[in-house]
Amino acid sequence: MQEATKAPPEAYYDYIIIGGGTAGCPLAATLSQNFRVLLLERGGSPYGNQNITNLATFTDTLTDTSPTSPAQSFVSEDGVVNTRARVLGGGTCLNAGFYTHADPEFVQKAGLDLDLVNRSYEWVEKVMVFEPQLRQWQSAVRDGLLEVGVLPYNGYTFEHIYGTKVGGTIFDKDNHRHTAADLLQYANPSGLTVLLHATVHRILFKTKGQSKTAAHGVIFKDGAGNEHRAYLSKERGKESMGEIIVSAGALGSPQLLLLSGIGPAQHLKSLGIKVLLDQPMVGQGMADNPMNTIIVPSPSPVEISLGQQVGITRLGTYIEALSRIDFVRFFGLTTPTNETTPETTKSALEIIERLQNAGMIVEKTIGPVSTGYLKLRNRNPDEYPMVTFNYFKEPEDLQRCINGMKIIEGVVNSKAFSNFRYPSDTVEALLNMTQYLVKNIQPKRSNASTFESLEQYCKDTVVTIWHYHGGCQVGRVVDHQYRVLGVGSLRVIDGSTFIDSPGTNPQATLMMLGRYMGIKIRNKRLGRYDLD
């Protein structure tokens, strides 16, 4: 790793990967074994940052709003606060650590080679996946799920199967986080250059042969604002066989295509961007899995824990749990101001006090069916684009949320969970407290201060689970080999290509995909057929 300020004004590589995140790191490590690779990351290093490393400081990273934060906060046009990773290792540096494979249907629809998929998962797991040790609170949630019928119990497994299971975690036995950046230990050091604080402003194109337009370089700026250019290497006077690969995430990848002139022509022209390719599907199909939750203060001691087990239901919802994190910071509840009434002050302080020993059980809506779109706010690549997810636009998603909340209610009321809930706390009282705590700024949010219905509760308390995807989807913007339609030497390999979120958590699938496509690209270029 080195700061981009040390990069030459101009350099040549076989492959240029934009984004050192969850997919970009394993992709770069794989390609570097045979080729000269440049990995451009707009953020810094995760190493030495205690907020990233330690499980107990999970919320500290997410709530860091400084200009150099590894977590860039943004608010969707729906009014839901979200986070975009800005660090080598991407979302694996910020998330709750749960590791599980994609559901089989996702792999089948993507047309992926199952043998190579499994080998790619194993390649990741050798470095950074561990078996969690469930303590009392997490075990109570697991047993509560079984008690309410989320069966069978599948034990510890990475597989996506109906029932309740314990998944993997990227936190080791000392509660230290491992990230996708750790996969760079597989890289050939002489074949890989990693530049930090390198923000790509534009992809460069030229006409290849008679008519085909192809990517051949990028313009990026370092942390001091100096401009650099990187180009694909030519081979003995021939055109390059290399590629530019965009792995900048579900926001960054469509944003960069738009900034480079690939997207809806009218939108590009309105911002003064020269249209390279009128591609109306860039930025379309944006989706974010809705998350809804119940906070449960406990009379018994609760351990600090993040995602360790999951209930995979047949009702279109997944149930997970976190405990004794900093809920005040997590949900943005602040101490009262002078403008608040004594009653409001008392309520807020009472809730803050009760959250010192509490957990939350969350519902993630699968899919989702509801989708939205992304547009550029301006031509500045450092700013986040405008994105609309249209939470619960489709009734099917809302019904799935209601189904999930009913299951959570059952877990809270279960005998298995009884030691971690005050007998006087009815589910309705917990819903009211959570509704007071969980904030979004949706324009359609109800003004009611007390629980009305699960339907309204889902709408009023929806937050993100950070699994947003879409914008460069397969079959719409890229083909099944992730090559951008209509131009040459350009691919997109990350979550922006997904139609749906792959199972309960996408990070395993993204790291697998980086490794998988690295092998595919290498074998195609070298005429090889091996899977390792």
Catalytically active residues, by annotation: 467
463: phi then psi, degrees, rounded to nearest 5? -135, 180
Beta carbons of 305 and 154 less than 8 angstroms apart: no
Measured CA to CA, the distance from residue 171 to residue 154 in angstroms comes to 21
Measured CA to CA, the distance from residue 504 to residue 312 in angstroms comes to 8
Beta bridge partners of 124: none
What is the DSSP secondary structure assignment for residue 34, as one 8-state letter? T
161: phi then psi, degrees, rounded to nearest 5? -140, 150
Amino acid at 319: I
Q: Which helix (H) or strand (E) holds 51?
A: helix 50-53
User: Terminal CA-to-CA distance of the chain, rounded, Å?
Assistant: 25
Orientation of helix 395-413 relative to helix 427-437, angle to 10°: 120
The strands making up 243-246's β-sheet, listed across from edge to edge, are 2-3, 192-196, 37-40, 15-18, 243-246, 490-492
Measured CA to CA, the distance from residue 479 to residue 291 in angstroms comes to 30
Beta carbons of 231 and 489 less than 8 angstroms apart: no
Q: Identify the residue whose tokens are 């394993």.
A: 26
Measured CA to CA, the distance from residue 263 to residue 275 in angstroms comes to 8
Bridge-based pairing state of the strands 37-40 and 192-196: parallel
